[in-house]
């Protein structure tokens, strides 16, 4: 059984957030946090369901001295995820920091992209 995290978010400030959610649902990569489900906006709230994270990178660094193997694995996972976001999805991360790098089922994933903007839209 998969563990999930569900969070209610206020969406009363317009539909741009809902449009971003649609874009995030389309992202499919091993090193990107997967949006499993979102419910319809009711009373200006929306529920988002994602896999449950074991630990974020900030907590992991504070908890454990990293060995060379950890550094290589985390670095490769992050570079693979960033490469996918930048080259295939045309999305800059916008908020890359240790708290936004999550370990789920032993795999490091990028999460919390801040404001997601398609690079092609920005150039217009």
Q: What is the pLDDT of residues 4-31, one digit of tens each?
A: 444 555 555 555 666 667 777 788 999 9
Please report the pLDDT score of residue 68 as a whole number. 96
Report the alpha-carbon distance of residue 40 to residue 95 in Å, rounded.
26
pTM: 0.72
Report the alpha-carbon distance of residue 109 to residue 26 in Å, rounded.
16
Q: Identify whether the C-beta of residue 96 lies closer than 8 Å to the C-beta of residue 102.
A: no
- Domain ranges in the chain are 4-122
- 4-122 in CATH: which number? 1.10.510.10
Please report the pLDDT score of residue 96 as a whole number. 86
Q: Identify whether the C-beta of residue 32 lies closer than 8 Å to the C-beta of residue 110.
A: yes
Ranges 36-40, 55-59, 61-65, 94-98: which has the least confidence: 36-40
Band of pLDDT at residue 55, cut at 50, 70 and 90:
very high
Q: Identify whether the C-beta of residue 25 lies closer than 8 Å to the C-beta of residue 116.
A: no
Please report the pLDDT score of residue 37 as a whole number. 67
Mean pLDDT along residues 64-77 = 94
Percentage of the chain modeled with pLDDT above 70: 65
Percentage of the chain modeled with pLDDT above 90: 37
């Amino acid at each position: 059984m998969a563990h999930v995290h569900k969070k209610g978010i206020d969406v009363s400030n317009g539909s741009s957030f809902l449009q971003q959610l649609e874009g995030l649902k389309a992202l499919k990569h091993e090193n990107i946090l997967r949006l499993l489900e979102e419910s319809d906006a009711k009373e200006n709230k929306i529920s988002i369901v994602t896999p449950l994270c074991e630990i974020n990178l900030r907590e992991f660094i504070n908890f454990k001295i990293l060995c060379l193997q950890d550094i290589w694995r985390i670095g490769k996972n992050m570079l693979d995820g960033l490469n996918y976001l930048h080259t295939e999805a045309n999305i800059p991360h916008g908020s890359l920091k240790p708290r936004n790098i999550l370990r789920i089922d032993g795999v490091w994933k990028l999460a919390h992209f801040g404001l997601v903007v398609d690079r092609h839209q920005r150039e217009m």
